[in-house]
Amino acid sequence: MAGSSRRDLVLESAADWARLLRVDGEDTCDSAEPAAERWHDGDMSHLGLVTIVVDDYDRAIKHYVQDLGFTLIDNIDQGDKRWVVVAPPGTERERHTTHLLLAEASTDEQRARVGDQTGHRVSFFLYTDDFDMDHMAFSQRGVDFEEAPREEPYGRVAVFRDLFGNRWDLIETIKRLD
């Protein structure tokens, strides 16, 4: 890090970030420089992947692809693990869409998190343009809905659980004219 200009830094660890921000408790950032320019000059435009911890790669792929209609994007063997990415239908080629990384639990601590990554809260929100069609299709494929569809101020919603017990909202938002 020494001798580099702030814009040329390659920050390889949390310690590098800490050194960039503070030296002996003093803020080293030029307060006149906008925060966005201090941190990033590139195009950081979206959240690319969210990890779901699963108990078995193949069961997860089958569930997300066959039951929920997702598309398998990647399934790359890396020896002791795999890189498995699935995407909601119709989003496979969209650059600014969040996809799911399915990660097989490999430790007892990780296995304890399968199906309960957020302490029984709804973890994921699957948006649809046709709630009735998707709700019916999911139900016919055996997806476990916890409740009947309900109307909320923000749209139509029903909570379901995936094969691993993670809670999801299937939601069709209200289209507002602004």
Domain ranges of the chain: 6-39, 47-114, 118-178
Q: Which of 29, 33, 8 lies closest to 19, judged by CA? A: 29
Phi-psi region of 45 (alpha: psi -120 to 50; beta: other; left: phi over 0): alpha
- Supply 107's token pair: 């430790």
**By percentage, how much of the chain surpasses pLDDT 70?**
73
Please determine, for residue 120, whether its predicted confidence score (pLDDT) is greater than 50.
yes
Alpha carbon distances (Å) from 75 to 60, 81, 105? 12, 10, 16
- Answer yes or no: is pLDDT of 5 > 90: no
Q: Which residue type, as a one-letter code, is found at position 47?
A: L
Could you tell me if residue 75 is left (phi over 0), alpha (psi between -120 and 50 degrees) or otherwise beta?
Answer: beta
Per CATH, the architecture of 47-114 is what?
Roll (3.10)
Task: Kindly report, residue by residue over 55-92, the tens digit of the pLDDT.
Answer: 999 999 999 999 999 999 999 999 999 999 999 988 88
Instruction: Give the per-residue pLDDT at 48.
Output: 87
Phi first, then psi: give them for residue 76, nearest 5 degrees: -110, 120
Q: What is the C-alpha separation between 173 and 74, in angstroms, rounded?
A: 29
- With tokens 């998707």, the residue in question is 134
pLDDT-based confidence at residue 178 (cuts at 50, 70, 90): low
Distance CA 64, CA 29 (A): 45
pLDDT value at residue 97: 84
Q: Express each pLDDT in 14-43 by its tens digit.
A: 444 444 444 444 544 444 555 444 444 566
Looking at domain 118-178, does it have CATH number 3.30.720.110? yes
Mean pLDDT of the chain: 81
**Is residue 46 pLDDT above 80, yes or no?**
no
Which of the pair, 29 or 129, is modelled with greater confidence?
A: 129
Give me the residue label for tokens 């097989």. 104
**Residue 133: pLDDT band by 50, 70, 90 thresholds?**
very high
Give the pLDDT confidence of 105-114 residue by residue, as tens digits: 999 999 999 9
* Cβ contact 165:115 at 8 Å: yes
Q: Is the whole model's pTM more than 0.85, yes or no?
A: no
